[in-house]
Amino acid sequence: MAGQRVEVDGGIMEGGGQILRVSTALSCVLGLPLRVQKIRAGRSTPGLRPQHLSGLEMIRDLCDGQLEGAEIGSTEIMFTPEKIKGGIHTADTKTAGSVCLLMQVSMPCVLFAASASELRLKGGTNAEMAPQIDYTTMVFKPIVEKFGFKFNCDIKMRGYYPKGGGEVIVRMSPVKQLNPINLTDRGSVTKIYGRAFVAGVLPFKVAKDMAAAAVRCIRKEIRDLYVNIQPVQEPKDQAFGNGNGIIIIAETSTGCLFAGSSLGKRGVNADKVGIEAAEMLLANLRHGGAVDEYLQDQLIIFMALACGVSRIKTGPVTLHTQTAIHFAEQLAKAKFSVKKSEDEEDASKDTYIIECRGIGMTNPYL
C-alpha cells in the first residue's frame, strides 16, 4: 500500500495547525505516507504544540500507523498510515488545547474505519482560537451530517483556558461513502437563540449581562424576531475551572445555521463579550452566504471525499478555507472551483460559490 511519500510544506498559506490536521487526516483516509515540514513555521512558538501532538498520536493509534519526529516543538514529522481500525481511543492535550480541533482531525478517519469508534477527547471545550464545543454540537454537527453520517457528542466535562480539563466523548460508525451536499439556498432567518454561560467562581449576573447586551445589539438590526439567549450557570460537577462565554445561533427557513461566539477574559466586562458575539453573528448574516466563516473550511475535506459534486455558498473565502482546498487538491486530487455568486441578490455582496467534484472515496473495509 505504501507508495511515494507525499511532501507537505506546513509553512505556506495559513501556516498553522490546520495544515497538519487536513494533511494527516487525508493521509490516513487515503493510505498516503506523508512528510510535513516547516510545521507552524511562522508562529510565535513554532513546531508542534501539545494539542497538535495529541491529535497526531490519536490518528497514529487509529490506524496502527508509524509516526516519526512527533514531539513538542518538532517542525517535521513523517507519518505512515495503515488500516483504520476504529475502537476506543483517547487523546488528551493536557492543556486547554481544543477538543474541537481534535475532532476535526479524527472525524474523516473514523468515517472510513473498519468498525465503530469511540473517541475520548480531553482538553479545552471552550477555548480561544478554536470552535467552542457548543458550536460543534449546534452548528457543525447538523450541517456535516448532511454528508450522510451521524455522530454522537457527549460533553462529560467542560474545560476552560488556561487549565483545560474538559472531556467530550464522540461516538460514530463508519460509512461506505459520503454524499455530496448543496448549501446554496440561504432562506430567511427564522429564529435566533443561544446560551451565555458562567462556570466556576464567576457570578451568574455575568451570564445575564452577556445575554442582555447581545440581545440589545441584535435588536438594533433585526427587530421582528424574538431572540432567546439562555443564561446558564454550568453545574459544578460538569465544569473544570472558571470561564464565561456566549454563543448565538441564527437558523434560517432552509435549515442553514450561522453563529457568533465570544469568550470572556480577565478584565473584559460582560457586556463587551455579549456584543462581540452578536456583532460576529450579524456580520455572518450580512454576506449572503449559506454557511458562516467558521463552517466554511471545516466542510472542505468532506466535500473532497464525497461522491459527486458539492456546492456551498459563502461570504469572503477565508485563508483557512483556501488552505484546506489547496491540500485537498494536492493530496486527494479533488477538483475545486471558487467563483463569485451570480445571483442578482448577491451582486452587491461579497458572496462566493465553492464547488467540488469529490473523489468518491469508498470505505475499503465495509
> Is 230 annotated as ligand-binding?
no
Helix (H) or strand (E) holding 280: helix 270-286
CB contact at 8 A, 160 and 107: no
Look at strands 66-68 and 309-314 and give their pairing.
Answer: unpaired
| Contact of 26 with 109, CB cutoff 8 Å | no
Cβ atoms 197, 211 nearer than 8 A: no
Q: Is 294 annotated as a binding residue?
A: yes
Is 320 among the residues known to form the active site? yes
DSSP codes joined into one string, 8-55 = EETTSTT-SHHHHHHHHHHHHHHT--EEEESTTTTSSS-S--HHHHHH
Name the DSSP class of 291.
S
The response to whether 104 counts as a known ligand-binding position is yes
Instruction: Kindly name the residue from 52, 89, 287, 320 that is annotated as catalytic.
Output: 320
**34 Cβ partners below 8 Å, 6+ apart?**
5, 6, 8, 23, 24, 27, 78, 79, 80, 81
Q: Is 295 annotated as a binding residue?
A: yes
Q: Is the dihedral of CA 118, 1, 70, 127 positive or negative?
A: negative
Provide the 3-class DSSP secondary structure of residue 262: strand
β-bridge mates for residue 119, sequence order: 89, 170
Closest CA to 261 of 95, 137, 82, 89: 137
Please give the torsion angle defined by the CA atoms of residues 286, 288, 293 and 294, in that order, rounded to the nearest 10 degrees.
Answer: 100
Place of cell 453545574: 235
Q: Which residues are annotated as a binding site for ATP?
A: 104, 294-298
Catalytic residue set:
320
